[in-house]
Amino acid sequence: MAEKINKVVLAYSGGLDTSIILKWLQVTYDCEVVTFTADLGQGEELEPARRKAEMLGIKEIFIDDLREEFVADYVFPMFRANTVYEGQYLLGTAIARPLIAKRQIEIAKAVGADAVCHGATGKGNDQVRFELGYYALNPDIKVIAPWREWDLHSRTDLINFAEQHQIPVPKDKRGESPFSVDANLLHTSSEGKALEDPWMEAEGHVYSRTDDPVADAPVEPEYIEIEFEKGDAVAINGVAMTPATMLTALNDHGRKHGIGRLDLLENRFVGMKSRGIYETPGGTILLAAHRGIEQITLDKGAMHLKDEIMPKYAEAIYNGFWFSPEREMMQALIDQSQEFVAGTVRLMLYKGAAHVVGRKSQYSLYSMEHVTFEEDSVYDQRDAEGFIKLNALRLQLLKRRGKVTEPPAYD
C-alpha cells in the first residue's frame, strides 16, 4: 500500500509522460496534485500545459517565468568559472535542475504540500540533481520518483495507461520516439533511441537550435562586441541587455553561424556512459568572450587557480551539488576573482566557431611597454639570467647526484 500523501507538487511539462505521472499520482496515492511548469526559455508555448492540467482536474497550477533568474543566478555564475564538464559540455541541463527544485520546494511550502515529484528516469543524472536539491532545501520533504516505483515498463504500457484514463495520446507518441529532447535558454540536449549508437553520425534534423555550419551558415564572418562588468556580459555592440535578453541575443547570433554543436559521449554520475547531442550557441560565444576578457584583466595566479578548480566545480554542478557547501565555497572564490573582469571583447563568428579577435579593458594588466620587441626602458633583460639560474638549481642538483652515486640497493 502506498504511503499516505496529502498533496504533492509535480514538475509538469504537459507532455505525455508527466501527464501520465499526474494521473498515476492521483490513482496511486489518492492525493491532491499541484502542477508546476517552469519557463526557462525552452521555446515552447506553455499555456497548453495549463489547459491539460485543468482537463485532468488540477485546481492549483503554477506556470512561472524563471528566465531572468535562471540566467542571472545560475548560468552567469557558472560562466564566471568558465565551466565545462569533461572538457566540452557546457552543462545546459544540469544547471537548470537546481532552480526547478528550488521553486518546487517554495511552492510546496506555499500550498502546504508534503511531497514533490519529478519525471526523471532511474537511469539518468536528473533524478539525482532534483532530489539532492529537494533534500538540501527541505530535509524532511517526501520525494516521489514514479519511474523507480511504478510497474509501467514500456512505451506500450504508458500508452495503455493513458488510454485507460482518457489522457490524450498524440499520434506521433504511439510509436517509439526517435530521441528525447530537453531544452532551455542555454541549450538543447538530445539523447536516446536513434542516438544511442555512438558510431552513427547524428542526422541533421536532430539539430533544432543551430543552422548547418557548412551548408547554411553565411559565407562572410560577422563581428560582434560584448561588454563585461564583474565577469558578466552586459551589452552587445553597445546595447545594454538583461541577462536573459543577453543570452537570447547571443543564441540568435550563434544560430545562424552554426555555433555550439557538440556530439559527446559522457560519464554519467550514476556510472554508465551516455551519448548526447548538445547545442549551446549563445553559451559557446559567451564562454569564448569571457575567457577573452579574463586574458587581459586577470592575474596569472588567479587565472591558473580558477582553471585548477574548474573541473571540480563542473563536477559538482553535473552531479547535482549546486546547493552544497563546496560549490558555494568555490563560487565565492570565483566571484572574488571577477571584480576587475570588465571591458570589451570583439569576436568573429564564422562557420561554427567564435573567435576572439580583440579585447580591451580599463583594468588591463597587459603592458605593451614590457612586451614590445622594440627598445624599452622598463624591463632589463639581464634580470632573466638570475631568474633562470634559480629555477634551474634543483634540476642541476638532481642531475649531479645521479652522476656521483648509484641509487641505494635494498634487500
Longest dimension (CA), the chain: 88
83-100 exposure pattern, b = at least 16 Cβ within 10 A, e = fewer: bbbeeebbbbbbbbbbbb
278 and 199 within one domain: yes
* Of residues 103 and 56, more confidently modeled: 103
115-117 and 142-144 as β-strands: parallel, antiparallel, unpaired? parallel
- Catalytic residue among 19, 80, 126, 361, which? 126
Q: How far apart are CA 117 and CA 257, in angstroms?
A: 39
195 and 75 within one domain: no
121 and 63 within one domain: yes
Q: Which residues pair with 222 in a beta bridge?
A: 349
For residue range 124-175, what is the model confidence (pLDDT) as tens digits? 899 999 999 999 999 999 999 999 999 988 778 888 998 998 888 876 555 5
Contact 297, 363 (CB under 8 A): yes
What's the chain's average pLDDT? 93
| pLDDT for the residue 102 | 98
17 is catalytic: yes
206 and 124 within one domain: no
| pLDDT for the residue 172 | 57
Residue 165 falls within a domain, yes or no?
yes
Q: Cell match 626602458: residue? A: 377
pLDDT at 282 over 80: yes
For residue range 362-379, what is the model confidence (pLDDT) as tens digits? 999 987 776 667 777 787
- Catalytic residue among 17, 103, 261, 337, which? 17
Residue 347 falls within a domain, yes or no?
yes
151 and 46 within one domain: yes
Averaged pLDDT for residues 93-115: 98
Q: How far apart are CA 298 and CA 59, in angstroms?
A: 53
For residue range 63-94, what is the model confidence (pLDDT) as tens digits? 999 999 999 999 999 999 999 999 999 999 99
| pLDDT for the residue 57 | 92
* Of residues 126 and 410, more confidently modeled: 126
354 and 388 within one domain: no
235 and 115 within one domain: no
126 is catalytic: yes
Q: Cell match 485546481: residue? A: 59
| pLDDT for the residue 327 | 98
- Model confidence band, residue 411 (pLDDT cutoffs 50, 70, 90): low
Q: Which amino acid is at 51?
A: R
What CATH number is given to the structural domain containing 337?
3.90.1260.10
Averaged pLDDT for residues 177-191: 88
Contact 33, 58 (CB under 8 A): yes
Q: How far apart are CA 261 and CA 103, in angstroms?
A: 30
Q: How far apart are CA 296 and CA 334, in angstroms?
A: 17
Q: Which amino acid is at 285?
A: I
Q: Which domain holds residue 388?
A: 370-403
HEC readout, the chain: CCCCCCEEEEECCCCHHHHHHHHHHHHHHCCEEEEEEEECCCCCCCHHHHHHHHHCCCCCEEEEECHHHHHHHHHHHHHHCCCCECCCECCCCCCCHHHHHHHHHHHHHHHCCCEEECCCCCCCCHHHHHHHHHHHHCCCCEEECHHHHCCCCCHHHHHHHHHHCCCCCCHHHCCCCCCEEEECCCCEEEECHHHCCCCCCCCHHHCCCCCCCCCCCCCCCEEEEEEEECCEEEEECCEECCHHHHHHHHHHHHHHCCCCEEEEEEECCCCCEEEEEEECHHHHHHHHHHHHHHHHHCCHHHHHHHHHHHHHHHHHHHCCCCCCHHHHHHHHHHHHHCCCCCEEEEEEEECCEEEEEEEECCCCCCCHHHHCCCCCCCCCCCHHHHHHHHHHHHHHHHHHHHHHCCCCCCC
| pLDDT for the residue 408 | 67
258 and 157 within one domain: no
| pLDDT for the residue 15 | 86
Q: How far apart are CA 98 and CA 324, in angstroms?
A: 11
Quick one: what percent of the chain has pLDDT higher than 70?
A: 95
Residue 410 falls within a domain, yes or no?
no
If one counts every other C-beta atom within 10 angstroms of the C-beta of residue 259, the result is 28
Domain count, the chain: 3
| pLDDT for the residue 16 | 85
Quick one: what percent of the chain has pLDDT higher than 90?
A: 79
Averaged pLDDT for residues 353-362: 98
383 and 240 within one domain: no
Contact 279, 182 (CB under 8 A): no
For residue range 5-53, what is the model confidence (pLDDT) as tens digits? 999 999 999 888 899 999 999 999 999 999 999 999 998 888 889 999 9
| pLDDT for the residue 347 | 98
Residue 365 falls within a domain, yes or no?
no
- Catalytic residue among 180, 208, 299, 401, which? 180
- Model confidence band, residue 176 (pLDDT cutoffs 50, 70, 90): low
| pLDDT for the residue 342 | 98
- Catalytic residue among 13, 19, 80, 97, which? 97
Residue 157 falls within a domain, yes or no?
yes
What CATH number is given to the structural domain containing 43?
3.40.50.620
Q: How far apart are CA 278 and CA 207, in angstroms?
A: 8
301 and 254 within one domain: yes
| pLDDT for the residue 173 | 52
Contact 323, 137 (CB under 8 A): yes
Q: State the pTM of this model.
A: 0.92
Q: How far apart are CA 28 and CA 160, in angstroms?
A: 16
